[in-house]
A = this chain, B = another copy of it.
């Protein structure tokens, strides 16, 4: 914490001294390998659709808006290599089923006359959307307020600036002195590893907690609001987000703490009527049975590892998008 000046995280083209979360680099896609953070900040290159799909599947790049950019950039790669775009579109879309942005970005690039230009435009547009979103959401953060968040919805997840963390970041830039309770976010610790890393560099005070300790923080009245991102918002306002979001929303309601979802309108899926229609990805049980290659469970153990859960719209106090804060998701 402390003396470091606030720096943008994942700013495109290396603004602020840090590499971009994900960007087009001439003939390849360059991205921060989020699997290695916070221990190592390494940039890796994808030369083919297969390369990039492997980075997506293994969470080297993750977070719905960053996946939207990744999907478009994968099609850009396919186009410069002369691959079949329909096949690439199908391959990319199947890589992770829950985040609607992945399919959205890939489709938009595939339908464009110039997929590379379209993918680069999507990157720029997401950055603009997230800065606008943060500006709107910051008004919800009281002076000196404590925000509780889950998973990583920062610049790493959102190409730049962040959705939930963008709200915190804008409040910080406005001098509201926010602090953050960071759910560690099992099993892959995106909160402990990535959100903490972003906040550390931004100089915003934060405290990491085991996910289930959020209930204690809320019960003590130590959080003023909860803000999370989303991987897909259904037309009725139900929200798919990282596993653990739903119990957090239930606890927030019980303790009278408002629960907000911050996401660009590109995360809203008007074709999806409600949460029951959102496919929930189940990931490898080894993510639960091992840690960093160390077995933590007995031989023979099974695990259930859903990557997401669905929070009903009734638990959401408001949706923070680039258009403002609204009680229902802006669909038009």
Q: Do A298 and B211 contact each other (CB < 8 Å), given the known contacts A246-B219, A250-B251, A309-B216?
A: no
Docked Cα-Cα span, A244 to B208, in Å, equals: 15
Option from B212, B247, B297 in Cβ contact (under 8 Å) with A193: B297
Q: Who on chain B is nearest to A197 by CB?
A: B298
How many copies of this kind of chain does the complex include? 2
* Contacting residues, chain B, for A288 (C-beta < 8 A): 184, 192, 208-210
Q: Do A200 and B39 contact each other (CB < 8 Å), given the known contacts A216-B246, A250-B215?
A: no
Q: Who on chain B is nearest to A309 by CB?
A: B216
B243 touching A304, Cβ below 8 Å: no
A108 contacts chain B at the CB level, 8 A cutoff: no
B301 touching A212, Cβ below 8 Å: no
Q: Who on chain B is nearest to A249 by CB?
A: B215
Option from B187, B216, B294, B301 in Cβ contact (under 8 Å) with A206: B301
* Contacting residues, chain B, for A291 (C-beta < 8 A): 291-292
* Contacting residues, chain B, for A251 (C-beta < 8 A): 247, 250
A289 contacts chain B at the CB level, 8 A cutoff: yes
* Contacting residues, chain B, for A184 (C-beta < 8 A): 186, 288, 296
Docked Cα-Cα span, A296 to B39, in Å, equals: 8
A207 touching B302, Cβ below 8 Å: yes
- Interface residues of A: mostly helix, strand, loop or mixed? mixed
* Contacting residues, chain B, for A297 (C-beta < 8 A): 38, 192-193, 196, 208
Docked Cα-Cα span, A181 to B305, in Å, equals: 12
* Contacting residues, chain B, for A303 (C-beta < 8 A): 207-209
Max chain B Cβ within 10 angstroms of own Cβ: one of A212, A216, A243: A212
Option from B186, B189, B208, B296 in Cβ contact (under 8 Å) with A211: B186
Option from B2, B206, B247, B302 in Cβ contact (under 8 Å) with A247: B247
B302 touching A206, Cβ below 8 Å: yes
Q: Who on chain B is nearest to A287 by CB?
A: B210
A81 contacts chain B at the CB level, 8 A cutoff: no
- Name the distance in Å between A232's Cβ and chain B's nearest Cβ: 16
- Name the distance in Å between A281's Cβ and chain B's nearest Cβ: 12
A5 contacts chain B at the CB level, 8 A cutoff: no
* Contacting residues, chain B, for A292 (C-beta < 8 A): 291-292, 294
Q: Who on chain B is nearest to A219 by CB?
A: B246
A213 contacts chain B at the CB level, 8 A cutoff: yes
* Contacting residues, chain B, for A210 (C-beta < 8 A): 186-187, 211, 243-244, 288, 305
List 10 A-B pairs, minimum CB-CB distance, nearest first: A212-B244, A215-B247, A38-B298, A186-B210, A200-B298, A208-B303, A197-B298, A192-B297, A211-B212, A207-B302
Residues in A lying within 8 Å of B, measured CB to CB: 1-2, 38-39, 181, 184, 186-187, 189, 192-193, 196-197, 200, 206-217, 219, 243-244, 246-248, 250-251, 254, 288-289, 291-292, 294-306, 309
